[in-house]
Amino acid sequence: MSIRQKVLFKIKSVEFDKVNAPKKVSTYFGENTFSMTAMRKHISKTTFDAFKLWMSEGKTISLSQANEIANAMKNWAISKGATYYTHWFQPMTGLTAEKHDSFISFTGPGKVIEKFSGNKLIQGEPDASSFPSGGIRATFEARGYTAWDPSSPAFIIESALGKTLCIPTIFVSYNGEALDKKLPLIRSEEALNKAALNLVKLFGHKNVKKVFSTCGPEQEYFLIDRNYYNLRQDLIMTGRTLVGAPSPKGQQLEDQYFGTIKERVVNFMFEVAQEAYKLGIPVMTRHNEVAPHQYEFAPIFEESNLAADHNQLLMDLMKKVALRHNLVCLLHEKPFAGINGSGKHLNWSLADDQGNNLLNPGQTPEDNLQFLTVLAAVLRAVYLHADLLRASVALAGNEHRLGANEAPPAIISVFLGEQLNNILDMIEKGIKSKVSKADIIDLGIARLPKFNKDSTDRNRTSPFAFTGSKFEFRAVGSSQNISTPLAIINTIVAESLDYVAQQINKNVASGKDFNSTVLKVISQVVKETKNVRFEGNNYSAEWLKAAQKRGLANVAATFKALEALTKSKNIQLFEKYKVFSGEELAARYQIWVHLYNLTLDIEANTLNEMVNASVVPAGYKYEKLLANTLYRLIKLKKDGGLKIDKAALQDKKNHLSDVISKIYYVRRNALEMMKLLKQAEKLSDEKRAEVYFKQLKPLMEHIRRHVDALECVVSDDAWDLPKYREMLFIK
Ligand code: ADP
Ligand code: MG
C-alpha cells in the first residue's frame, strides 16, 4: 500500500463536544476590539471628542491625549489578559506583519510595571530591513516606521497560551514614503472624499460632511484534509497543485453550489464566524461554491479601510481555525487545475456620512440624476483606466484565473444590466436644452426603481458589474490584500468625479439649465465610454474577438499588466491625487515583478523535486513490475511452453514502452526546465518575468501533462501523491 492509500483511512472529522446553547452573537460581537464604545468608557469626554474630530475631519490630537488613549488601550487590553502588543501592518508583499513587544518596563532590578505610552502607540520603529521597499529605503538603512491608524480599532488576538494587543498601523520610510498597502488606501479615501463632496454639493447636498468608499469582499477558498496537504510538497511550498490528473467527476454536474454543506465544514465555518465576531468582523453568508470542496464567506460591507483590515484578519483566522479541524484552508487563486479558481469579489460603493449610498437611485428626480452622474463617472474611470484595474490584480496566482475561461477575463469591461442600459441609451438620444419634470419622466429617470439584485445580478462573467447599489470587481484574486485594488478604484473614480463636476460647472456658469447640463454631461460620457460596456458572456470566444475590435486591452501576463504602474499618464494621475508618488509606484512595480519571479522560481524548483523524488520513482516501480512480468512471461513461453497470444504479448510490450517513454518525457522536460532557470538567472527582473511567462510556464505545463498521464497508468499503490478525486471528494 502506498503512503497515500494509508492516509485515506485517516480522513475523518475532528470530534467536538456538542454545544447545546450557543452564545448569542450580540453578547460578544466585537468584544476583542478597542471600539469607539470601549474607548468612550475608558477616556475623558474631551479626549474622546478630540479623537472623533481626528477621525472625521483629520484634526490632530495632542501628545497628552494620545497618552491618555494609549493608557486606556493598555488597561483595556491588560484587563482582557493581553501581555504583549504589536504594531500590525501590511507590507507590500501582501501578508501582514507584526513586531511583538511586551507591556512590561523594568523599573529597577527585579521589578517590572506594565507601561505603554502615547509615543509607543502612535509610532513604532520595527527593523524594516527584511521588508521589501523596492529601493525606496536602502536595506542597510533599516529605518521604517509604523504609525497608528486610528480609523481601524485595535484588537486582541488570542492563542491557547496568551493574548496580544494588535494595533493597526501604516508603515512608512523616514521620508514618509508608503512602504505598505494601507497608507495609499487611506490617501485614496481622502482624494475620493474631496472629489465626491464637491459633486454632491453641486447637487445641493450641503449638509454632507464626508464621503467614503464602502467594501464587502466575498472571500472564496478551498478546504482539504490536512493529511493530504502534508503529502503534497507543491501545496506546502506553493499553495497550488503543480501536478495531478483531473478527477473523472469535477464540477460538471453542477451539484455542488446548492448542495448541503458537510458537517465537518459547517463546524469549521461556525468557529471561524465565532472568532470573527469577537473581532468585530461581520461575516454573514457562507455557502458552497461551484467547485467541489470550495466555499465562500461574505461579510457585511464596511468602510473600505476597515474592510481591508478585516479581510486580512479573516484570511488569517480561516487558516488558523482550519488547522484546529485538521483541515487546510487554501487561498491560492488556482489550487487545482481544471477546477474553478478562487477570487475575491470586491463589492464597492460610495456612501456619505448621512447614511446615503451614492450608487442607489434616490427618491427624487434630482437624486436620480446624481446617481446617474456618479454611475457615469465610474464608467469613465473604468474606461480610461482599465490598465490600472488590471494591474491591481496582477500576481502570479491570479494569472491562472484571469482569462482562463471561467474567471473574469483579463479584458476589463462593465456590465450594467438591461434597465440601466436602456436609460443611458435614452439619455444619449434625447436631451433638450431645457429639461422639465415631464422630460425626466419621459427618460425614465424620475421613477428609477431601487434595483434589486435579481434584476441586475445575472451576469456572473463580467469583471466589473453593477449589481444593484454597488459595483462588483470580480477580477481580484482570493489571496490578495484588497487595499491596492481599492486604492486604485478610489483614485480613478475621484478623477472622473472631478471631471464630471468640472463639465457641469463650466456649463452652468455660462447660464445653462442645471438638469439639462447634467444630462448632457452624462450623455457625453456614455457616448465616449460605450466600448467598455458589455452585457454578454465574457467567457466566450466571440467576446475576445469583439473586444479586440473595440480596442480593449487583453493582458494575460502579469509582467505586462504591471507595466501600467510605470506609464507617465498614470504616474501623473496618482501624483495629482497624492495617492502614490512616482517613486512609490516604481517601487511597487519592482517588488511585484520580483515577487512574480520568486513565485515561479519556487514553483519550478518544487516541480523539479516532485518529479525526481516522487513521480519518476513511482514510474520506475511500475516499470519494474511491467518489465519483470514481461520477462517472466517470455521465459515461461520459451522454457515452459506457455501459450501467449501474439497480440497479448505485443500489448504488454506496448504498455511497457509507453510507460518508459512517459517517464522519459517527464525527465527530459524537467532537465530542460532546470536549464532554463539557470539561464534566466542572468536576466533583469523584467526580462526574467517575460521568459518565465512565455517559456517557463508552458514548459511546466508540458511536464505536468506527462506526469498526469503517468498518474493514470501507474498502479494505484505505487503512487504516493494524493489524487484530485481524493482531495476534492473524500472529505
Ligand atoms: P451576491 O449576489 O454578489 O452574493 P450580496 O447581496 O450577497 O450579493 O452581497 C455581496 C456583498 O456585497 C456582501 O458582502 C455585501 O455586504 C456587499 N455589499 C452590499 N451593499 C454594498 C455597498 N453599498 N457597498 C459595498 N458592498 C456592499
Ligand atoms: Mg458576488
Q: Is the CB of 3 under 6 A from ligand 1?
A: no
How far apart CA 482 and CA 610 sit, in angstroms, is 33
How far apart CA 179 and CA 141 sit, in angstroms, is 14
CB atoms closer than 10 angstroms to residue 560: 18
Instruction: List, for the chain, all residue ranges whose pLDDT scores fall below the cut of 50.
Output: 138-141, 456
Q: What cell was used for 239?
A: 499553495
Q: What is the CATH T-level fold of the domain 595-727, as seen in this structure?
A: Four Helix Bundle (Hemerythrin (Met), subunit A) (1.20.120)
Residue 52: HSE in the Cβ half-sphere, 13 Å Cα cutoff: 10
CB 623 within 8 A of CB 660: yes
Segment holding 518, helix H or strand E: helix 514-528
CB 519 within 8 A of CB 431: yes
How far apart CA 556 and CA 438 sit, in angstroms, is 48
User: Could you tell me which of 318, 310, 139 has the C-alpha nearest to residue 220?
Assistant: 318
Q: Is the CB of 453 under 6 A from ligand 1?
A: yes
Rg, the chain, Cα only = 29
Write down the H helix ranges in 339-364: none
In the numeric block, the cell 472571500 is attached to 219
Which stretches does DSSP call E strand in 31-142?
82-89, 97-102, 104-108, 111-114, 123-124
Q: Is the CB of 299 under 6 A from ligand 1?
A: yes
Q: Where in the chain is the domain with CATH 3.10.20.70?
A: 31-180
Q: Is the CB of 341 under 6 A from ligand 1?
A: no
Q: What is the pLDDT of residue 140?
A: 42
Q: Where in the chain is the domain with CATH 3.30.590.10?
A: 1-25+219-240+254-342
Q: Is the CB of 296 under 6 A from ligand 1?
A: no
Helix, strand, coil: what percent of the chain each, to 5?
50, 15, 35
Residue nearest to atom 6 of ligand 1 (CA): 453
Q: What is the pLDDT of residue 648?
A: 95
- Measured in degrees and rounded to the nearest 5, phi and psi for residue 168 equal -60, 130
Q: What is the pLDDT of residue 228?
A: 96
How far apart CA 617 and CA 343 sit, in angstroms, is 36
Q: Is the CB of 298 under 6 A from ligand 1?
A: yes
CB 438 within 8 A of CB 444: no
Q: Is the CB of 467 under 6 A from ligand 1?
A: yes
Q: What is the pLDDT of residue 253?
A: 59
Tell me which residues have their CB within 5 A of the ion that is ligand 2. 218, 345
pTM of the model: 0.93
How far apart CA 483 and CA 168 sit, in angstroms, is 14
Q: Is the CB of 481 under 6 A from ligand 1?
A: no
| Closest ligand to Cα 462 | 2
How far apart CA 561 and CA 98 sit, in angstroms, is 30
Q: Is the CB of 344 under 6 A from ligand 1?
A: no
| Closest ligand to Cα 287 | 1
Contacts of residue 560, Cβ cutoff 8 Å, sequence gap at least 6: none
| Closest ligand to Cα 349 | 1
Q: At what angle do helices 483-509 and 514-528 cross, to 10 degrees?
A: 130
Q: Is the CB of 332 under 6 A from ligand 1?
A: no
Q: What cell was used for 251?
A: 464540477
CB 306 within 8 A of CB 185: no
CATH class of 1-25+219-240+254-342: alpha beta
CB atoms closer than 10 angstroms to residue 640: 10
How far apart CA 191 and CA 172 sit, in angstroms, is 19
Ligand 1 centroid vs 300 CA: distance in angstroms?
Answer: 7
In the numeric block, the cell 501600467 is attached to 564
Ligand 1 atom closest to the Cα of residue 347 is: 26
- Our mutation pick for probing the ligand 1 site, out of 290, 295, 452, 470, counting the most ligand atoms within 8 A of Cβ, is 470
CB 58 within 8 A of CB 151: no
How far apart CA 159 and CA 591 sit, in angstroms, is 32
Ligand 1 centroid vs 619 CA: distance in angstroms?
Answer: 50
Q: What is the pLDDT of residue 114?
A: 73
CB 459 within 8 A of CB 160: no
Q: What is the DSSP string of 229-281?
A: HHT-HHHHHHSS-SS-PPPSSSSTT--STTSPPPHHHHHHHHHHHHHHHHTT-
Q: What is the pLDDT of residue 452?
A: 54
Contacts of residue 475, Cβ cutoff 8 Å, sequence gap at least 6: 343, 389, 390, 393, 398, 402, 407, 408, 410, 412, 463, 464
Q: Is the CB of 90 under 6 A from ligand 1?
A: no
Q: What is the pLDDT of residue 259?
A: 59
Q: Where in the chain is the domain with CATH 1.20.120.1560?
A: 595-727
| Closest ligand to Cα 359 | 1
Q: Tens digit of pLDDT for each residue in 358-408?
A: 999 887 777 889 999 999 999 999 999 999 999 999 999 999 998 766 667
| Closest ligand to Cα 302 | 1
Contacts of residue 543, Cβ cutoff 8 Å, sequence gap at least 6: 409, 411, 534, 536, 537
SS3 141: coil
- Our mutation pick for probing the ligand 1 site, out of 301, 345, 360, 460, counting the most ligand atoms within 8 A of Cβ, is 301
CATH class of 31-180: alpha beta
Ligand 2 centroid vs 290 CA: distance in angstroms?
Answer: 13
SS3 305: helix
How far apart CA 499 and CA 493 sit, in angstroms, is 10
In the numeric block, the cell 511546466 is attached to 700
Q: Tens digit of pLDDT for each residue in 131-175?
A: 666 666 544 445 678 888 888 899 999 988 899 999 998 888 877
How far apart CA 685 and CA 558 sit, in angstroms, is 13
Alpha carbon distance, N-terminus to C-terminus of the chain: 20
Ligand 1 atom closest to the Cα of residue 359 is: 23
How far apart CA 59 and CA 233 sit, in angstroms, is 52
In the numeric block, the cell 504516493 is attached to 720
Residue nearest to atom 11 of ligand 1 (CA): 216
What is the distance, to the nearest Å, from the Cα of residue 699 to the centroid of all Cα atoms in its chain?
Answer: 27
